[in-house]
Amino acid sequence: MSAPSVVDDAPIESSSRTFKRAFQDLREGFGHRELWFHLGWQDIKQRYRRSVLGPFWITIATGVSAIAMGVLYGTLFNLDVATFLPYVALGFIIWNLISGSILEGADVFMSNEGLIKQLPTPLSVHVYRLVWRQMILFAHNIVIYIGILIVFPQPLKWTAIMAVPALALIAINAVWVSLVFGILATRYRDIAPLLGSVVQLLFFMTPIIWTEKTLEGTGNEGRARIAELNPLYHFLDIVRTPLLGGDQQLYHWVIVLAVTVVGWALALVAMRNYRSRVAYWV
């Protein structure tokens, strides 16, 4: 009897738990652009079907909140409303994009349970669909800023074009966030409500309805530094500052790029190890 070969005794790695399959899922999912483009549009239409204004109700709700907060806090903090209102409005619009990607990302697979079990598509299709839907909502909401810009013109510079790659970075990060938290929340159902509480806390830690100037002379200047520990602040700043004509600091981009690299590393590990189990967990 011949001795067993070393190859025969070596553990065989499951073909579904490899980085190659994780990359393949992401690549094939992106290739189904017509599918998730269509599903994303249908999500918006379905939410506001039989409504006269349709998705522009989102714009109205966001605009009312932004204008109310801008006027209220501008008056309380004795700030120039013409400068503070665009600041708050852009903050709300960008925050809705970021927080929506996080909160809906945690629910992305559970909310698509039927499609995951019945339609043999890459798992990433549902994530691309979510991010596309969030970008559509952002496009609706940015109308608010354009309207405010007409009423209160801002000294824009050529650097305003930097908002485009900044938005692309937010979309790229929204994909890995949805993958990681979507997989975690599918396995552990407590993740979604926990994220809701954390995101709400981060809203108050992010300079949206307040600025560093509002803390000057109050003895709370040090608290503004705490905001820089919040990674969402840096994502918001790389979009808002150029659109307000401000001078942007390089460290915001460095932090965003670092978060992007680390986040995608986590997403690839999560996809490698648990992609095939999501259908059983939903």
pLDDT of residue 221: 55
Measured distance CA(143)–CA(208) in Å, rounded? 18
Lowest mean pLDDT of 2-16, 143-157, 262-276, name the range.
Answer: 2-16
Measured distance CA(272)–CA(19) in Å, rounded? 5
What amino acid occupies position 114?
G
Counting every residue written for the chain, the total comes to: 282
Give mean pLDDT, residues 152-159. 86
pLDDT category of residue 2 using cuts at 50, 70 and 90 = very low
Give mean pLDDT, residues 15-19. 74
Rounded to the nearest integer, the mean pLDDT of the chain is 86
Cα 252 vs. chain centroid, distance in angstroms?
17
pTM for the model stands at 0.88
pLDDT category of residue 8 using cuts at 50, 70 and 90 = very low
Per-residue pLDDT of 244-267, as tens digits, reads 998 888 999 999 999 999 999 999
Contact 269, 123 (CB under 8 A): no
pLDDT of residue 166: 96
pLDDT of residue 16: 63
Measured distance CA(230)–CA(44) in Å, rounded? 30
pLDDT of residue 27: 94
pLDDT category of residue 25 using cuts at 50, 70 and 90 = very high
Per-residue pLDDT of 167-212, as tens digits, reads 999 999 999 999 999 999 999 999 999 999 999 999 988 889 888 7
pLDDT of residue 229: 85
Per-residue pLDDT of 28-58, as tens digits, reads 999 999 999 999 988 888 877 766 666 677 7
Tell whether the model's pLDDT for residue 13 goes beyond 50: no
pLDDT of residue 121: 86
Tokens of 69: 């907060």
Contact 116, 123 (CB under 8 A): yes
Residue (of 235, 211, 234) closest to 70 by Cα position: 211
CA distances from 258 to 64, 103, 124, 226, 263 (A): 35, 22, 23, 19, 8
Tell whether the model's pLDDT for residue 5 goes beyond 50: no
Give mean pLDDT, residues 121-145. 93
Tell whether the model's pLDDT for residue 116 goes beyond 60: yes
Tokens of 212: 């560093």
